[in-house]
């Protein structure tokens, strides 16, 4: 399951970066933070598997996804702010930001729920990541309009 999550993260990252043009040093550092957080997924996944969905590992797993998503949101907002308006409409930017905030809210809820119900917390994580299975904003063409 975590491999699918990494694939979703990679697809969204690749899709987002096509709007950036030459990256700035700030974007590169934001990207490094995001990638570092993603690099912790194998550890968290192994801990969850080893303990068979015990509360503490699932809370950590959810917290890690909150951190990954915060880093992604910062990266996304920086990229969207720099994206050329001829390539990406304001409606697309607004919808992408709302979707990202909704995912962050679901992941934060998963973190809190995992304290009492780890299985439900894990289900919320899966549900949140489903929102990112398709990086394009629904109803908008591939060119961002």
**pTM confidence score:** 0.88
Each residue of 61-104: pLDDT tens digit?
Answer: 999 999 999 999 999 999 888 887 767 788 888 888 999 999 99
| Number of separate domains in the chain | 1
Residue 123 lies in a domain: yes
Q: Please name the residue ranges forming H helices in the chain.
A: 2-17, 25-39, 41-50, 55-82, 90-114, 118-130
Distance CA 2, CA 47 (A): 12
Residue 84 lies in a domain: yes
Q: Is 55 exposed, middle or buried (0-12, 13-18, 19+ CB in 10 A)?
A: middle
In sequence order, what are the residues at sequence separation of 6 or more whose Cβ sits closer than 8 angstroms to the Cβ of residue 73?
100, 101, 104
Domain range enclosing 48:
2-130
Residue 144 lies in a domain: no
Each residue of 18-65: pLDDT tens digit?
Answer: 888 788 899 999 999 999 999 999 999 999 999 999 999 999 999 999
Residue 29 lies in a domain: yes
């Amino acid at each position: 399951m975590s491999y699918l999550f990494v694939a979703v993260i990679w697809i969204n990252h690749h899709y987002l970066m096509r709007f950036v043009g030459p990256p700035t040093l700030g974007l590169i550092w934001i990207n490094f933070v995001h990638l570092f957080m993603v690099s912790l997924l194998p550890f968290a996944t192994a801990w969850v598997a080893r303990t068979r969905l015990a509360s503490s590992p699932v809370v950590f797993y959810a917290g890690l996804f909150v951190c990954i998503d915060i880093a992604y949101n910062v990266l996304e907002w920086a990229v969207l702010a720099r994206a050329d308006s001829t390539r990406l409409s304001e409606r697309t930017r607004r919808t992408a930001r709302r979707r990202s905030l909704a995912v962050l809210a679901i992941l934060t809820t998963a973190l809190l729920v995992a304290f009492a119900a780890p299985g439900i917390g894990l289900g919320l994580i899966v549900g949140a990541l489903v929102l990112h299975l398709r990086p394009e904003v629904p109803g908008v063409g591939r060119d961002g309009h």
